[in-house]
């Protein structure tokens, strides 16, 4: 470990350390899922259905005899993939559009902000359900729906940050030096505009996992028999009194992931805030 | 022209005597009180000529009587608003003698009401008009007698007249405003509608003009009031029953039934009804247009495993394409679970990998479980199966339009005669395209027409057995279970009975709280 890395780690707040460590553990568990379990997430064993947790099946088996532990592990891959794509794809163009609008102003800013007002005026979940009703359920539809709607928050954040940064001395200095606009925006202003979006993306990541879980719960999400956590909870709901493990353990997985990401978000806000202050 | 007394009537009297012997003794019965009843469905209307959903049907039968009624078990029938009837020797004219009954508003039942009701039931907008198609005319002989004339002999007529869809309504009230009638019907049944709030509850109160008598010699019903609550969440119904918030709950989920049986204050009953749970197959869509593929789906379905895991052992593996109604044959051989045979059939059909979408409705947990199990075994047989999920209304809409391949669902019969479902399910000209399967077998259609006209029960039994064998082994559908109805009530509820048609007679239920 180099001294620089050690110095950086020393400045990390405890929440960031704990959150990163547990999130890293979740990611690794997902990556190595096939080596961590002897079962397949899809193979049914109808003779051994609704078995309570035991040494053979640490999380028990579900209503068609699939190993719940295995399904929760494979669920990490699905849920994190969904969370990542539904957060960072909209963030990328949301940031870009917001930063441009904030820096350039004028008609571009006006048109973008009106578009944004329209998108925000509708309840998010209702719009998603409408889009799913038109295109049919499935993960790809959720991606399309979220890509259409979810960039607005990032655009708004980036725009307001950019409005502040635009008037600061270092941006004025860069402009006075005659740097091209693209360089001023992307090399100079953007690193400071991006911070609040990164912090927000952590919370957004959790909310998106919950959104997809919620849609699966309503039957509008992933197709059966994919081991998505929300879908597993929905299936287990009918057995909650006699087989609590089917719904509860995927639920705990969501909670654990959510807490890890929130801790990272908190820690990042703290750490990035420090850095920003040290620049000034 | 001589007349013959319907032989059904005498056997009815015997059946009635048998039932009353094990019914409650007069001194036991406690009158009055309220029954709180939680159901997973709600009525959409009380207009008997509109609906085809069990949520409405089961509520309508508590409020509206027909000329003939299902008896206490639902396996037989008994006189309703018709006290007796006579059939002409050629089997074409039925004359009904009306009972001296009153509507819930106190007005007397007249022949004009009966004529109007039966004409409306067979009218162009009625949902069950197909059952009344063989009727040539309905006319009043005098104020107390009504004559039904047929186009051709039609043996199931008496059973058809016991349908909720043949209910007798008050002509004046219905003609004035049929929409308002759907909210507040005026009929002759044991209860009348006091309050109807869509999405939450229906309150039924005693009709003090009801014609039938209880075991104590006083008019039925025993209860003063029924609160019929709409509680679609199955866990909520079970919890409500255990806590005593509900007196009766309809449809206990299978996984909780055994557990609920352990509660000493609650009685759980699983009663066989006219119901078949099965996978609808659309024969007009490839690859299901090939008989080999449809049979392969049947051979590859592990019904034993489904019975144990999904239905927790409740029910019976079927040997028919339709529920066990009166002419059901036990002799038809079941298609066994044989994955090797399924593979051979798939190979013989020259299957090209066209995917089969197995559909179920959102929220139907058993159907989802079945789809998951079938997908795995069908894939093992070499078929390419996907699971698709749609909201119930959408799924049904797609089914009726033929925009589906396989749909995990069920069917119930409303009458105790095989004719109704045999024709609906297997005759492509019945108005539902052979119940949305587009199954078309001219031999079967001929046989069904013959069975409809035959007055001889032995001949009808023989024909229906043949139809059952042919349709079932044509791979009409993938039958899964003759599913019983599982209901539960607290022990102070007496006289609770599920009839084979699927509903419950609430008129002689009483509570001793």
Cα–Cα distance, B247 to B242 (Å, whole number): 9
Residues of A in contact with B393 (CB under 8 A): none
Partner-chain residue, chosen from A64, A224, A238, that has the shortest CB–CB distance to B255: A238
At a CB cut-off of 8 Å and minimum separation 6, what does A95 contact? Answer: A154, A155, A158, A193, A194, A197
Lowest mean pLDDT among B77-81, B279-283, B340-344: B77-81
Among B256, B363, B376, beta carbon nearest to A219: B363
The string of pLDDT tens digits covering residues A49-60 is 899 999 999 999
Domain ranges of chain A: 14-35+55-279
pLDDT value, residue B216: 84
The C-alpha of B241 sits at a distance from chain A's nearest C-alpha, in angstroms, of 15
Q: Which residues from B are below 8 Å from A140, CB to CB?
A: none
Contact with chain B for residue A9, Cβ under 8 A: no
Q: What is the distance between the alpha carbons of residues B263 and A237, in angstroms, rounded to a whole number?
A: 22
Number of other CB atoms surrounding residue A168 within 10 Å = 13
pLDDT band at B306 (very low <50, low <70, confident <90, very high): very high
Tokens 């270092």: give the residue.
A170
Q: Are A16 and A269 in contact (CB under 8 A)?
A: no
Residue B76: its pLDDT value, please? 86
How far, in Å, CA of B262 to CA of B248, rounded?
A: 16
**Starting from the edge strand earliest in sequence, which strands make up the sheet with B478-481, in order?**
B385-390, B356-361, B406-412, B275-281, B478-481
Query: Could you tell me the pLDDT band of residue B483, with boundaries at 50, 70 and 90?
Result: very high
Say yes or no to pLDDT of B12 above 70: no
The residue-averaged pLDDT of B98-104 equals: 92
Gap from B395 CA to chain A (nearest CA, Å)? 12
pLDDT at B196 over 70: yes
Q: Which residues of B touch A137 (CB under 8 A)?
A: 389-390
DSSP line for A28-39: HHHHTHHHH-SS
Q: Using the predicted structure, report yes or no on whether residue B8 has a pLDDT greater than 50.
A: no
Q: Is A122 left (phi over 0), alpha (psi -120 to 50) or beta?
A: beta
Helix (H) or strand (E) holding B100: none
Asked whether the predicted pLDDT for residue B233 surpasses 90, the reply is no
- Quote the minimal CA–CA distance from B273 to chain A in Å: 24
Torsions phi, psi for A152 (to 5 deg)? -60, -40
Assess contact for B184 and B60: CB atoms under 8 A.
no
Name which residue leads in pLDDT, B1 or B360. Answer: B360
* Measured distance CA(B454)–CA(A275) in Å, rounded: 93
- The per-residue pLDDT for A225 is 87
CATH class, A14-35+55-279 region: mainly alpha
DSSP state of B417: -
Check residue B53 and give its pLDDT. 80
- Residue B309 has its nearest CB partner, among A64, A220, A237, at A64
Instruction: Using a CB–CB cutoff of 8 Å, tell me whether A64 touches chain B.
Output: yes
Average pLDDT of B309-324? 94
CA gap B83, B418 in Å, rounded: 25
**What ipTM was estimated for this complex?**
0.79
* B359–chain A nearest CA distance, Å: 11
pLDDT at B157 over 80: yes
Residue of A43, A63, A225 with shortest CB distance to B309? A63
DSSP B508: T
Q: Given this model, what pLDDT does residue B17 score?
A: 41
Alpha carbons A43 and A32: distance in angstroms, whole number: 19
Q: Is the pLDDT of residue B215 over 50?
A: yes
The token duo for B289 is 């247009």
| Closest to B209 (Cα-Cα) out of B349, B115, B104, B124 | B104
pLDDT, greater one: B372 or B73: B372
Confidence band for A275, pLDDT divided at 50, 70 and 90: low
Q: What is the pTM for the complete model shown?
A: 0.83
Q: What is the pLDDT of residues B242-252, one digit of tens each?
A: 999 999 999 99
The pLDDT score that the predictor gives to residue A1 is 60
Contact between residue B366 and residue B483 where contact means Cβ atoms under 8 Å apart: no
CA-based max dimension of chain B? 71
For chain B, the residues whose C-beta falls within 8 A of a C-beta of chain A are: 234-235, 238, 253, 255-256, 259, 302, 305, 308-310, 362-363, 365, 368-369, 371-373, 375-376, 386-391
């Amino acid at each position: 470990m180099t001294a620089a890395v050690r110095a950086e780690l020393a400045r990390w707040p405890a929440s960031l350390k704990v959150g990163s460590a547990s999130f890293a553990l979740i990611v690794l568990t997902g990556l190595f899922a096939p080596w961590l379990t002897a079962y397949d997430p899809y193979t049914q064993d109808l003779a051994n259905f609704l078995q309570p947790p035991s040494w053979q099946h640490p999380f028990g088996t579900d209503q068609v005899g699939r190993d719940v532990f295995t399904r929760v592990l494979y669920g990490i891959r699905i849920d994190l993939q969904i969370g990542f794509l539904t957060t960072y794809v909209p963030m990328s163009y949301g940031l870009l559009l917001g930063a441009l609008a904030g820096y350039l102003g004028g008609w571009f800013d006006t048109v973008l902000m009106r578009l944004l007002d329209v998108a925000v005026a509708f309840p998010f979940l209702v719009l998603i359900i409408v889009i799913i009703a038109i295109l049919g359920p499935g993960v790809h539809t959720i991606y399309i729906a979220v890509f259409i709607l979810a960039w607005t928050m990032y655009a708004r954040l980036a725009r307001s940050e950019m409005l502040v940064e635009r008037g600061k001395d270092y941006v004025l200095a860069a402009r006075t030096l005659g740097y091209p606009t693209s360089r001023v925006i992307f090399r100079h202003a953007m690193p400071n505009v991006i911070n609040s979006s990164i912090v927000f993306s952590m919370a957004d990541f959790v909310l998106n996992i919950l959104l997809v879980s919620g849609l699966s719960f309503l039957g509008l999400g992933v197709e059966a028999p994919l081991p998505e956590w929300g879908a597993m909870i929905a299936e287990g709901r009918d057995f909650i009194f006699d087989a609590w493990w089917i719904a509860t353990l995927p639920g705990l997985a969501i909670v654990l992931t959510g807490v890890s990401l929130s801790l990272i978000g908190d820690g990042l806000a703290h750490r990035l805030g420090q850095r920003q202050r040290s620049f000034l | 022209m001589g007349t013959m007394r319907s032989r059904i009537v005498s056997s009815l009297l015997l059946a009635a005597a048998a039932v009353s012997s094990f019914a409650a003794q007069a001194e036991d019965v406690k009158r009055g009180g309220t029954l709180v009843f939680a159901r997973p469905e709600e009525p959409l209307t009380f207009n008997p000529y509109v609906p085809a959903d069990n949520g409405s049907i089961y509520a309508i039968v508590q409020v509206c009587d027909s000329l003939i009624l299902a008896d206490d078990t639902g396996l037989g029938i008994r006189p309703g608003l018709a006290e007796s009837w006579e059939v002409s020797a050629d089997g074409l004219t039925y004359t009904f003698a009306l009972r001296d009954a009153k509507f819930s508003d106190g007005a007397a039942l007249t022949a004009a009401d009966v004529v109007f009701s039966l004409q409306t039931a067979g009218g162009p907008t009625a949902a069950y008009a197909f059952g009344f198609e063989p009727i040539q005319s309905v006319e009043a002989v005098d104020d107390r007698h009504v004559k039904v004339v047929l186009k051709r002999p039609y043996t199931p007529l008496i059973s058809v007249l016991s349908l909720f869809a043949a209910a007798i309504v008050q002509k004046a009230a219905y003609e004035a405003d049929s929409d308002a009638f759907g909210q507040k019907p005026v009929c002759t049944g044991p209860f009348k509608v006091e309050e109807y709030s869509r999405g939450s509850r229906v309150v039924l109160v005693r009709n003090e003009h009801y014609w039938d008598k209880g075991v104590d010699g006083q008019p039925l019903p025993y209860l003063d009031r029924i609160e019929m609550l709409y509680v679609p969440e199955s866990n909520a119904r079970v919890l409500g029953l255990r806590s005593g918030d509900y007196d009766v709950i309809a449809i206990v989920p299978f996984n909780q039934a055994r557990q609920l049986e352990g509660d000493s204050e609650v009685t759980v009953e699983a009663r066989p009804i006219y119901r078949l749970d099965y996978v609808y197959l659309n024969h007009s869509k490839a690859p299901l247009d090939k008989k080999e593929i449809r049979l392969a789906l049947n051979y590859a379905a592990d019904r034993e495993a489904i019975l144990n895991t999904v239905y927790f052992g409740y029910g019976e593996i079927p040997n028919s394409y339709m529920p066990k109604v009166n002419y059901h044959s036990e002799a038809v051989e079941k298609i066994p679970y044989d994955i090797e045979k399924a593979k051979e059939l798939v190979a013989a059909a020259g299957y090209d990998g066209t995917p089969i979408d197995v559909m179920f409705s959102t929220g139907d947990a058993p159907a989802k479980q079945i789809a998951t199990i079938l997908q795995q075994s069908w894939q093992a047989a070499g078929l390419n199966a996907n699971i698709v999920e749609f909201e119930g209304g959408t799924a049904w809409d797609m089914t009726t339009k033929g925009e589906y391949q396989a749909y995990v669902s069920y069917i119930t019969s409303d009458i105790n005669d095989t004719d109704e479902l045999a024709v609906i399910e297997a005759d492509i000209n019945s108005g539902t395209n052979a119940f949305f399967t587009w199954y078309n077998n001219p031999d079967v259609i001929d046989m069904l027409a013959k069975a409809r006209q035959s007055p001889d029960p032995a001949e009808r039994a023989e024909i229906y057995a043949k139809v059952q064998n042919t349709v079932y082994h044509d791979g009409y559908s993938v039958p899964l279970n003759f599913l019983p109805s599982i209901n539960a009530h607290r022990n102070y509820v007496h006289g609770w009975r599920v009839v084979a048609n699927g509903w419950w007679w609430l008129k002689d239920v009483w509570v001793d709280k």
